[in-house]
Amino acid sequence: EISAPETMQAGNVLAALGADVVVVEPLSGSAGRRMEPFLDEIPGIERSLTWHALNRNKRGITLDMHSADARELLSSLLAKFDVALDAATNGVAPLDNFTIPEKMVRIRIAPFGHSGPKSAYASSDLTVMAASGAPGVTGDPDRPPLFFPVPQAMLEAGSDAAIAALAAIVARDRDGLGQNGHVSARIAAMMSAMSHHLGPPSGNPETTRNYGAMMIAGVQVPSMYECADGFVMISIAFGPVFGQMTQRLAKWTADENHLARNIAEISWPSFFTDLAQKKVSLADLGALVEGLKSLTRHKTKAEFGAAARKLGLLASPVFNMKDVAESAQYRERGLFTSVAVAPGREIDVPSRFAQFSNFSIETRRPAPMLSEHTVEILEAHLGLSRVEIQALFAHAVI
C-alpha cells in the first residue's frame, strides 16, 4: 500500500482479513498521520486517531520516492507481494511509472477515475463529495447542503478498492494473469446518495432536501424529533403492518398526556383509506405530529429507546459517538477492543466490521509508528544486511 488517505481503508479491510499489508510512507510520514482527530487534541505524527483507526494490523516502511535507490527498492518489493494499492493526485499515481510484476494485482484510486475530462483534476474529499450528488439531498432546504463530518468519499473509495482487490485476486488465481483495477472515488461516493441519482434519468422528479421529513398532502411529517438530550428518529407509517406501530405510538403519546385520546384511537393502519372516505382529516395527522414533538421533548434518548423496545415502535434514539462507545449492545457483541496508540496509552476501538463463522477478525498489532518495520522488511524480503540498511538511512533513502 502506497500510503495515502484514499488507500488507508482499502489496506485496513485487507489487513483485517489476514493479509500482510505493508504501508509505504515518505520520510516525513503519510498525509494520513495529519488527519484529525488527535489523541487528547494534541497534534503529532503518531497521534492521529484516524491513522490509528485505519492502519491497524499493518507494517510500515519509509522510502524517499525522489531517490533512485528508493524506487529500486520499491520495484524489488513489488515482486514480493500480490497486491499494490495507490492513489492518484492531479491524474498521477505513484506507481504509474513503475513496471508492475506480471502476476500482480494493482488497484489505483483516483478522485474522478483514470479517464475523462476530470481525470486530472485536483481535488479534496469535499469536492469529490460535492460532485457525487449526496450533499444535494441532505439537510434543510433553507440553508447550504450538509457535508459529512468524516472523509466519506475517501472511505467509500477505499472500501470499493478492497472489494476490487479481492475480486482481482480470484481472477488472477483462476487465469494466472495480473489485474489492473481502477476505482473512482466520485462513483464510490455516489453510493451515499442511495438511489436518488437514478430518479431524473428515469423521468421522476429530482429529489430535493426536505428537512428529513416527508410531505403528506401538505402536512410535513418529520423523521427526526428533538428530545431532552439530543434527537430521536420516528417513522410514522400506515398500512396493516407498519400502521400497527403507529397505533401503539399514538396510544403511548396519549397515555403520556401529549395527545388527545380521540386522535390516538383513530385507526392509523387504515388512515389513507379513511382519509379518502373523509372519516379522518389531515388535521388529525398534524395533531399526531405535534403530540410526538411534545412527547419527545420530555424524554431522554435512553427513556425513548427503552419505550421503543418495550412497545415495538419503528423508532430509535440518534446516537452520538459517546453513545456508540457506551452502548451495552455493542459491548455485549464484543465490538470494541483495546489498542495501544502511544507508549503506555491504550484506547478502545471498534474491533471488526464483520463476524464470520469460520474466521475471526482480530487486532494483531496497532498501527505502525513511522518507519517501525523498515529494517525488518528490508532484511526479510530483500535480504539486505544491516550495513546496507544503515547506508540507506545515512543517505536519507529510508
pLDDT in tens, the chain (398 residues): 999 989 999 999 999 999 999 999 999 999 999 999 999 999 999 999 999 999 999 999 999 999 999 999 999 999 999 999 999 998 999 999 999 999 999 999 999 998 999 999 988 999 999 999 888 888 788 888 888 788 899 999 999 999 999 999 999 999 999 999 999 999 999 987 777 888 888 888 887 776 677 777 778 899 999 999 999 999 999 999 999 999 999 999 999 999 999 999 999 999 999 999 999 999 999 999 999 999 999 999 999 999 999 999 999 999 999 999 999 999 998 889 999 998 889 999 998 888 899 999 999 999 999 999 999 999 999 999 999 999 999 999 99
Neighbours of 58 (CB within 10 A): 25
Pairing mode of beta strands 58-62, 21-25: parallel
DSSP annotation of 395: T
- pLDDT tens figures, 265-304: 999 999 999 999 999 999 999 999 999 999 999 999 999 9
**233, 136, 112: which is closest to 194 by C-alpha?**
136
Q: Which three cell numbers stand for residue 270?
A: 387504515
Contact 86, 109 (CB under 8 A): yes
Q: Which three cell numbers stand for residue 327?
A: 452502548
Q: Distance between CA 222 and CA 238 in Å, rounded?
A: 15
- At 292, is the secondary structure helix, strand, or coil? helix
Residue bearing cell 433553507: 142
Q: pTM of the full predicted structure?
A: 0.89
